[in-house]
Amino acid sequence: MSTPDSATPAPEPLPAAPKPVDDPTPAGTPAPAAEAASAVAAEPAAAPVVPAPPPLTVALIGKVSCAGIGVAQALLDAGLKVRVLCANAEDESLVRNLKVPVNAPERPLQAVLGSEADVATLANLFTGANAAAYLSPVGLNGREWRPDAHLKDLAGILEQCSASKVPKFVYLSAIGAMTDAPARCLREAFEAERRVTASHLTEFVLRAGPLMGPGDDLMSRVAQVTQSGSPCMGLWSYGDTQIQPLHAYDLGRCILRCISGQPEPLRSGTYTVAGGETLEYRELFDRALARKKRLKLKFHAPFFALKLAGMFAGPEFQERLELLTAPFCADHNDVAKLLGSVSSLRGLDQTLDECA
């Protein structure tokens, strides 16, 4: 018979099962599920996705052929939305024929039919716009868009921009703009600059040389004269006016730089934008003829004879005569500052091919 002192001792615990030889996991390693949970808990929370800002909308007013379509195409290619004021169905057709990039935003291009003298049309054009540009270029023959109403049009445009809260405004001026310029269009350009600067908008004044591109008053005429079958051609005076043509597409790139603030904000003010080549007007014809391997006999109308004829001619003839002595080139060019390099500009030969 057993007693308490002789009770059977409790069995010892069984040893842990031996770890398989081919398992490389060190002893004490957490289970896979616990490890994954620990890793998830250790990862920082993902940053919230910030939507990209909507593309800028730019309203263009002024001459559509050459200036308008060149600027609009440059802005479209940069991903902006563009509204163009069209005076007639022909302008509207030019706008609708522009090339819209594949990755363009929704409704990137709008043609607004109407007049810059109509307040309701301007209100429709400017509502929601981030910037506006007034394109009334001055060429060798004078102002190319509504020359008799330029300052009046500008006053209405500035007033409506302010009413529609358009923050930025670009005015296309001319290299020869000054108070004592020989031609009225250049004197008015200087007065327009003064009014734009006095506005409450963030303003950019771009003093440009003659614009070139399809539909222009410069290279298109050179191409037309070059291709004509006549063995002769005529020039006012000696054709020695110094010019520095700028392609309308490159003007659009300059406008983009002004309003986009990229790569860094640009100070408002006046900038001279001119092409990469300076040459005499007659040299345009010489170059075009040489490229076609053709010759033409040039007849020059002497300056004194033109002045005599101007005594009996109208104001348009007078202004064209006065522009023969006006500057269309500049010693200082801000294109490199705006675009980084003058070498990126479209050249004369390329433009001749476009206008042919």
| Tens digit of each residue's pLDDT (9 = 90 or more) over 254-311 | 999 999 988 888 999 999 999 999 999 999 999 999 999 999 999 999 999 999 999 9
Who has greater pLDDT, 263 or 6?
263
User: CB-hemisphere CA count at 13 Å for 253?
Assistant: 20
Instruction: Give the strand pairing for 269-273 and 131-135.
Output: unpaired
Determine phi and psi for 234, rounding to 5 degrees.
Answer: -115, 150
Asked if residues 219 and 211 have their Cβ atoms less than 8 Å apart, the reply is no
Residue 98 φ/ψ region, left for φ over 0, alpha for ψ in the -120 to 50 degree band, beta for the rest:
beta
Q: Which domains, and CATH codes, for the chain? A: 57-355 (3.40.50.720)
96: confidence class by pLDDT, cuts 50, 70, 90: very high
Query: What's 249's DSSP letter?
Result: H
Query: What's 297's DSSP letter?
Result: E
User: What are 222-234's pLDDT values in tens digits?
Assistant: 999 999 999 999 9
Q: How far is residue 281's CA from residue 108's CA, in Å, rounded to a whole number?
A: 38
Residue 316 belongs to what H/E stretch? helix 315-322
The mean predicted confidence, pLDDT, of the chain is 88
Residue type, 262: Q
Identify the sign of the CA torsion 182, 183, 189, 192: positive
Q: Mean pLDDT: which of 22-31, 170-179, 300-309, 312-321 is highest?
A: 170-179
Asked if residues 98 and 109 have their Cβ atoms less than 8 Å apart, the reply is yes
Predicted TM-score (pTM) of the model is 0.84
Determine phi and psi for 244, rounding to 5 degrees.
Answer: -135, 75
Structure-block tokens of residue 246: 């700028």
Query: What's 149's DSSP letter?
Result: G
Q: How far is residue 100's CA from residue 95's CA, in Å, rounded to a whole number?
A: 10
Asked if residues 355 and 219 have their Cβ atoms less than 8 Å apart, the reply is yes
